[in-house]
Amino acid sequence: PFLGNLLSVNPETVLDTFQEYRRKYGEVFSLITGSKTLVVISGYDTLREIFIKHGDVTSERPDIFITREVGKFKGVATSSGALWKEHRTFSLNTLREFGFGKRSLETRIIEEIEVFVQEIQSKKGEPFNIHSLINVCISNIMCSITFGKRYDHDDKKFLSLLNSINQNLSNENVMFVATVLPFIRYIPGDPFRIKKVLRNVDKVENHLRQLVEEHEQIYDENNLRDYVDVFLKKMKSERNNPNTTFDEDQLLKIVGELFVAGTETTSTAIRWFCLFMIRHPEVQEKMRNEINDVIGTSRFPSLEDKQNLPYCEAVIHETLRIGTIAPLSVPHGLASDLKFNGFTIPKDALLIPNLYSVFFDEKIFPDPYDFKPERFLDEKGNLKNTDKVLAFSLGRRVCLGEALARMELFLFVTSLIQRFTLEAGDIKNIPSEKGTMGITYAPKDFVLKAVPT
């Protein structure tokens, strides 16, 4: 069925609206908006069929504001076709190599967690907002993978880069409006903040360009330290190939994507975790007991402990499910028209993967609005049903950084609960489980107390 104007779909209520449309119209429905047809795909089986079975047709990126004006159809997240395939493969292999490479990735993460824990200890149980601390820590891990170095938390250059990225993420509705009504960017003045977003994109790229140039000065092809080094080596080896896609623009786009996607999503997941722990102290207690039984308090948790901490793992899955970080993923495009269940999805449609529809599907997750980690444990206490939590999307466009994000999440949240009891910073103002829809679905800002255990 074709529904009217998408402007009746408010970004704040879009998830509930799509749930209602799904009940009314089924797993696939379309909305006509301005010059675009949006086709929303809901339900676990239908999502798998469209994006996995028909993945050869449905894995493009559409021509929309974020891919054209922000991504310039470069990078990995906003490119399509041969360029996307080549660079996704290269990036995955390079990131695996830094396996992540000379110093194992786990060591880098734990190094950052030590700073994280010290910063929290310095608050001495007083209320504070953990948002920027988490952001800086997660960005620093991304820095060490891409640029081979971490920054002090008060480094002006580093904080300025993060600030430019965060400003764009808080202008998220701009992306939404510019996607469905592309002509608004030509309106005089800047009533929708579109020019501001594009200025910030340039600012971020200039920061990254400086970092790459500094890197080139100390580049040594016999000692590849990080992602940028490996890319520079490939660039130099293809210098005489007129058709090469390995150039500085492509490098800057990919590094920018790694920062934005790699910081905001994991940081948001950790903030949701903190919020749920404040609201469910009994879950926090059970996690701490499991951690104490398996690890004690003399060392930080490590990835080897993961298999022995099924309850902690269940809590992380429940956080990803109910926190639903990227509920509508990123729009997909089509390589050609697609015949599906008797009707045709046109090549120029935007496909919206409605991951939220799976997370809150009562058939898969009974009482979906209740925070219940036990739903992921069988009677023997082993993990089950975790494949239904499509937090990193699915198909060929599945998140490039999934393995890293899962490592960070596990190590950060277990280290946090091992050392601190999280409480509301303001008893009269317990943080709400209702988030706000932007680039990610994130909790509203809140303060907490972290009391050393």
- Starting at the edge strand found earlier in the chain, the sheet holding 2-3 runs 2-3, 28-33, 36-41, 350-353
**Domain containing residue 30: CATH number:** 1.10.630.10
Query: At 353, is the secondary structure helix, strand, or coil?
Result: strand
pLDDT in tens, 275-292: 999 999 999 999 999 999
Give residue 170's pLDDT: 62
The total domain count for the chain is 1
- Residues comprising the binding site for heme? 399
* Cβ atoms within 10 Å of 371's Cβ, excluding its own: 18
Encoded tokens for 109 = 């993460």
Q: For residue range 267-278, list pLDDT tens digits in order.
A: 999 999 999 999
Give the separation between CA 264 and CA 169, rounded to whole angstroms: 8
- Find the helix packing angle between 227-237 and 81-97, rounded to 10°: 130
**pLDDT at res. 437:** 82
Type of residue found at 439: I
| pLDDT of the residue at 166 | 77
Amino acid identity, position 302:
S
The residue to which tokens 């390589």 are assigned: 335
Question: In the structure encoding, which two tokens stand for residue 439, read together?
Answer: 């680039």
pLDDT at res. 356: 97
Question: What gap in Å lies between CA 103 and CA 62, rounded to an integer?
Answer: 38
**Residues in the chain, pLDDT under 70:** 1-9, 99-103, 168-173, 176, 180
Known binding-site residue numbers = 399
Residue 81's domain comprises 2-452
Q: What gap in Å lies between CA 399 and CA 29, rounded to an integer?
A: 25
Whole-angstrom distance, CA of residue 173 vs CA of residue 181: 12
Report the distance separating Cα 81 and Cα 395, nearest Å.
15
pTM above 0.85, yes or no: yes
* Residues 362, 392 contacting (CB under 8 angstroms): no
CA distance to 60, 61, 295, 330, per residue, from 333 (Å): 5, 5, 47, 10
Strands 420-424 and 350-353, sheet pairing: unpaired
Model pLDDT, residue 102: 42
Residues whose CB is less than 8 angstroms from the CB of residue 225 and which lie 6 or more positions away in sequence, other chains included: 101, 102, 148
Predicted pLDDT of residue 173? 67
Report the alpha-carbon distance of residue 262 to residue 145 in Å, rounded.
Answer: 11
Residue type, 17: T
